[in-house]
Structure 1
Amino acid sequence: MKVLLLGGTGEARELAGVLVGGGVEVVSSLAGRTSDARVPVGEVRVGGFGGVEGLASWLREHPVDAVVDATHPFAASITANAFAATREVGTPLLVLRRPGWVPDPDDNWHWVDTTSAAAELLAGLGTRAFLTIGRQGLEAFAGTGLWTLARCVDPPEPRPTWCALILARGPFMLADEETILRDHDIDVLVTKDSGGPATAAKLTAARRLAIPVILIHRPPLPAGLEVVETVEEAVQWVMRASHSPST
């Protein structure tokens, strides 16, 4: 059994470890957008495939029994390319997506569909913003006129002059998140609905400090995809695929 695992997330690393430990040959593909990325066990390739045709060509040259897309919930283009390429080649595809966050009754959340919509809503909710959306999409907030703090794993290029930067990688602790919000007098938080526990502490900190949160909806998945939410479910799917007559 050989699996191409589109990774970069904690779930992808966990899944690679379980599969390799169970005797499955795993090739993990990392986009290479983050420096010093955490490397999973098994074979690793870094860099994009070159769109749908590039991935389809790779699958023909390196046949695998299945593809598991365990990329970030906002990696929409990778998922769309994987869906189209696997359909073209005839390789089974599973998407592993951790559940999104669910608001607590005391949360003050405002949902939007895009970073541009978040920037438009921002000025009506506060004057000192904390952006935790990663480096992509930051420029949408450059014209808000608000004092802004942005947290990224790697610095944006070119480095913005209109906001202060924190370079850090999760997981983040609740006490540290509260300290950031208090020390910088943050009164509005902007984030993506990434889900998972590694970066959820900021939402708890915002709730405790009665700070409103703007959450950006996940991009929709292509219709017809098979999706699971846990590593355990993904392992079960791979095991079933290994016994399928078509593999």
Structure 2
Amino acid sequence: MSVGAERHILILGGTTEARRLAAALAGEPALRVTSSLAGRVAAPRLPAGQVRIGGFGGPEGLARWLREQHVDALIDATHPFADTISSNAARAAAEAQVPLLAVRRPGWTAGPGDDWRPVGSLAEAAEALSGLGNRVFLTTGRMGLAAFAHLENMWFLVRSVDAPSPPMPPRTEILLARGPFTVDGERELLRRHRVDVLVTKDSGAAATAAKLTAAREAGIPVVVVRRPPLPAGVPTVAAPEEAAAWLRGTGAV
């Protein structure tokens, strides 16, 4: 779709994998790389290449952007729980007839000594807390706290990059922090706040996995929200290097 020799790659990003892919492609000759960030983080880590911030206006808007900007390939390297943009990407790529690939880091796997309670949503996570503990370390991000707002008898430590907005549980302490986190730091956090249950999403990645090790060592149950499925038929790889190889195979690079 590109005009002339230049090839245009759009990366739907905001993740470590997206930044690594943008950095790997930035040195490719005759290649234009644009990374799109949703704009939900106030001070995002910017990738190499061109960057746009903000939504497209649904799948129709994204399809129009792909055509207008002569995009040759679309890479969905968003967060594993960004299911709306992944769905929009699949629909837009089909409409604009642009090759699409998803990059998804592997999820976490429970090991010996882990006490994990898998659930399908934040609402199910809130229901699962009954009987597990009263001092909750909530690491699901600043979105979706409304699912826990009715739990008036529990205390929550909510960690996020940016400050969350109401509604949220009435007994909440906000901790603004950005990973990577260390096991020693997570051990101290659990001890200092007397945490007795952890709630997290299965986002994968090593940057935020230390809390799982600390919870295992402390014998703390972990409520783990499962990932939403990717749209049917979207090819998927686990690493940016595989995405670069796929791009070369499509002829986009």
TM-score (norm 1): 0.96
Q: How does 1:91-240 map to 2 (within 5 A)?
A: 91-144=98-151, 145-158=153-166, 160=168, 161-240=170-249
CA distance in 2, matches of 1:201, 1:221: 26
Q: What secondary structure does 1:125 align onto?
A: coil
Partner of 2:4: none
Partner of 2:60: 53
Change (3 A) 1:224 1:15: same
Aligned partner letter, 1:116: A
Q: 1:60: Cα distance to partner?
A: 1.3
Q: 1:127: Cα distance to partner?
A: 1.2
1:10 aligns with 2:16: yes
Across the aligned residues of Structure 1 and Structure 2, the Cα RMSD in angstroms comes to 1.2
Aligned partner letter, 2:131: G
Are the aligned partners of 2:146 and 2:166 in contact in 1 as well (CA < 8 Å)?
no
Change (3 A) 1:143 1:220: same
Are the aligned partners of 1:65 and 1:241 in contact in 2 as well (CA < 8 Å)?
no
Change (3 A) 1:93 1:243: closer
Aligned partner letter, 2:23: G
Which runs of no fewer than 5 residues in structure 1 stay unpaired? Answer: none
Are the aligned partners of 1:7 and 1:29 in contact in 2 as well (CA < 8 Å)?
yes
Aligned residues: 244
Are the aligned partners of 1:9 and 1:71 in contact in 2 as well (CA < 8 Å)?
yes
Identity %: 55
Aligned partner letter, 1:96: V
Partner of 2:3: none
Which runs of no fewer than 5 residues in structure 2 stay unpaired? Answer: 1-6
CA distance in 1, matches of 2:81, 2:179: 17
CA distance in 1, matches of 2:166, 2:112: 40
Deviations 1:123-161 (A, max 9, x none): 221111000000111111122221111101111124744
Q: 1:22: Cα distance to partner?
A: 2.4
Change (3 A) 1:14 1:196: same
Q: 1:2: Cα distance to partner?
A: 1.5
Q: What secondary structure does 1:198 align onto?
A: helix
Are the aligned partners of 1:142 and 1:162 in contact in 2 as well (CA < 8 Å)?
no
